[in-house]
Structure formats: structure tokens, C-alpha cells
């Protein structure tokens, strides 16, 4: 059985004080849940969040990392820093990183490998634009992104990644894919993983849906047979909203 996973992606939001207060508020309300709970935040918040989350079931993740351990990469953060402060997860290849910061499939693959090398679990984002969806190229797009992201990974390494299917047209727009549409694409992603590895390995890999997930639609989404969780943006910024998402 794959453990359901609810991850909040705060993007460029919250101060350290706000982040600490958020965790302190939600901790007693999500204790004992059967869902894996993750909060992914800006780099400067992570150390304090990790500290205040100790003793809880909340895991902390970064939103990006560089594929080199050190070097002349001004403004970047290395996996060594993330490892030292105890990061559990890191988001890699989010559509905003691809769109605004030139993230390529090749760089995504390098980052995935480096994260796994240091026992940090990658949440690998894939998804199509509205134009690609209208042109019926969704499957082609996500297949290529998945194949590029996991290129060169062993079965054991692949089983540790999380894939987040996030149709770009649904991120922050209020337009969520229907639960059945999302499940159909996620089922195809698992078939792609099975064709590369094996059914046994593919069955271990969790695939989330992301894109305008809210407390009002999370239960419907999570009831789909192939959807293992949600990567949530705006609805994860309010503590009580996030509690409702986790306790769907």
C-alpha cells in the first residue's frame, strides 16, 4: 500500500515567524493522521521549520536545489545545506522553475540524482500547458518529462521519488482538472514508469495531483484509485485550510 501524501508548497510566501506559528498551530490537529504531511518552503524558513516540527509527523522540504555540491553559482543552494538541516524532501522541476528560471529536463535529472545521493526524496513535477492539452499532447508531454527526470536511476532509487502531476493551466487559476481526468493522466504516468522499470517498482512510486486543490475538492481527488496525494499551493498557506486537506 502506498501511503497517501499531502504536501504544501508555500512558494515565495511567509516569514520565519509566520512559518513557526503555522506549524505550532497545526501540530496537535494532525497528530496520528495516516497521511504523510510535508511543508515545502523558501530556503530561509527551513531550519526553523525543521526545529519546530520535531516530535510531530510533519516533514519539511525545500522548493529547489542546485545539482552541484558547491561552486560559483550565486544565489543557489546546494544539497549539502539541505542535508545539514535535515530536509526530508525537495521539489524539483516545478513548472514555475521551468517557466521563469530556465529549468530544463536535463537539469531536473541532475538534481534528482543529487538529491537521492544525499537521501533527500525528490518530488518531481510534470505537466502540460493549456495549449498542449488542447492539442491532445498531454500524454506525450508528461511521458517525456518523466522519462527525462528518471533517466539513469536504479529501481531502488526510482521507488523513492514522488511524481507530482501538475497541469500548468490549473496552477493558481482556480481551474482544477476533474478528478477523473487527473486520475487518467496519473494512471498513464504509472504505466510509463512500469514500462521503464517493472510493475513492482511502479507500484511503489507515489504520484500526486497538483493544481487548484482545495479542502472542497481534495476528498474527490483522493478517492481516485491512482492518485496518491496532492501538492497544494494557495490552499496550504492557511493553517486551518491545510488541516482540512490533511484530514480529508
Q: For cell 487527473, what's the residue?
A: 182
Number of domains in the chain: 1
The percent of residues above 90 in pLDDT, for the chain, comes to 90
Grid cell of 41 as nine digits = 518552503
- CATH code of residue 18: 3.20.20.70
Most distant pair of Cα atoms in the chain: their distance: 48
| Chain Cα centroid distance, residue 88 | 12
The percent of residues above 70 in pLDDT, for the chain, comes to 99
Provide the pLDDT for residue 227.
Answer: 96
The Cα 59–Cα 104 span in angstroms is 27
pLDDT at 178 over 90: no
- Check the annotation: does 233 bind a ligand: yes
Let me know: does 62 contact 75? Beta carbons within 8 Å.
no
Query: pLDDT for 45-88, tens place per residue?
Result: 999 999 999 999 999 999 999 999 999 999 999 999 999 999 99
Strands 162-165 and 229-232: unpaired
**Which residue from 193, 171, 196 is spatially nearest to 182, judged by alpha carbons?**
171
- Check the annotation: does 143 bind a ligand: no
Grid cell of 210 as nine digits = 497538483
- Check the annotation: does 10 bind a ligand: yes
pLDDT category of residue 107 using cuts at 50, 70 and 90? very high
Mean local confidence (pLDDT), 156-172: 90
Query: Which neighbouring-strand residues pair with 230?
Result: 6, 209
pLDDT at 173 over 80: no
| Chain Cα centroid distance, residue 172 | 15
Residues in Cβ contact with 78 at an 8 Å cutoff, skipping those fewer than 6 apart: 65, 66, 68, 69, 70
Q: Does pTM surpass 0.85?
A: yes
pLDDT at 33 over 80: yes
- Check the annotation: does 75 bind a ligand: no
pLDDT category of residue 32 using cuts at 50, 70 and 90? confident
Count the Cβ atoms, other than its own, within 10 Å of residue 192.
21
Query: pLDDT for 122-155, tens place per residue?
Result: 999 999 988 898 899 999 999 999 999 999 999 9
Determine the structural domain holding residue 36 and report its residue range: 5-246
> Residues with catalytic annotation?
94, 166
Amino acid at each position: 500500500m502506498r501511503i497517501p501524501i499531502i504536501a504544501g508548497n508555500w512558494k515565495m510566501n511567509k516569514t520565519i515567524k509566520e512559518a513557526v506559528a503555522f506549524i505550532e498551530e497545526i501540530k496537535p490537529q494532525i497528530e496520528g493522521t495516516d497521511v504523510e504531511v510535508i511543508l515545502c518552503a523558501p530556503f530561509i524558513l527551513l531550519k526553523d521549520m525543521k526545529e519546530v516540527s520535531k516530535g510531530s509527523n510533519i516533514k519539511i522540504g525545500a522548493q529547489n536545489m542546485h545539482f552541484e555540491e558547491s561552486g560559483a553559482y550565486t544565489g543557489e543552494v546546494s544539497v549539502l545545506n539541505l542535508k545539514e538541516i535535515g530536509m526530508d524532501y525537495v521539489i524539483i522541476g516545478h513548472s514555475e522553475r521551468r517557466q521563469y528560471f530556465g529549468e530544463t529536463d536535463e537539469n531536473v535529472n541532475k538534481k534528482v540524482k543529487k538529491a537521492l545521493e544525499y537521501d533527500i526524496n525528490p518530488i518531481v513535477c510534470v505537466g502540460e500547458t493549456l495549449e498542449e492539452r488542447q492539442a491532445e499532447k498531454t500524454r506525450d508531454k508528461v511521458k517525456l518529462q518523466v522519462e527525462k527526470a528518471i533517466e539513469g536511476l536504479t529501481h531502488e532509487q526510482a521507488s523513492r521519488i514522488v511524481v507530482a502531476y501538475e497541469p500548468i493551466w490549473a496552477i493558481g487559476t482556480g481551474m482544477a482538472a476533474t478528478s477523473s481526468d487527473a486520475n487518467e493522466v496519473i494512471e498513464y504516468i504509472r504505466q510509463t514508469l512500469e514500462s521503464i522499470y517493472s510493475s513492482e517498482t511502479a507500484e511503489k512510486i507515489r504520484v500526486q495531483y497538483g493544481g487548484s486543490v482545495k479542502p472542497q475538492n481534495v476528498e474527490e481527488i483522493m478517492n481516485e484509485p491512482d492518485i496518491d496525494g496532492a501538492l497544494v499551493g494557495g490552499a496550504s498557506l492557511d493553517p486551518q485550510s491545510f488541516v482540512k486537506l490533511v484530514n480529508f
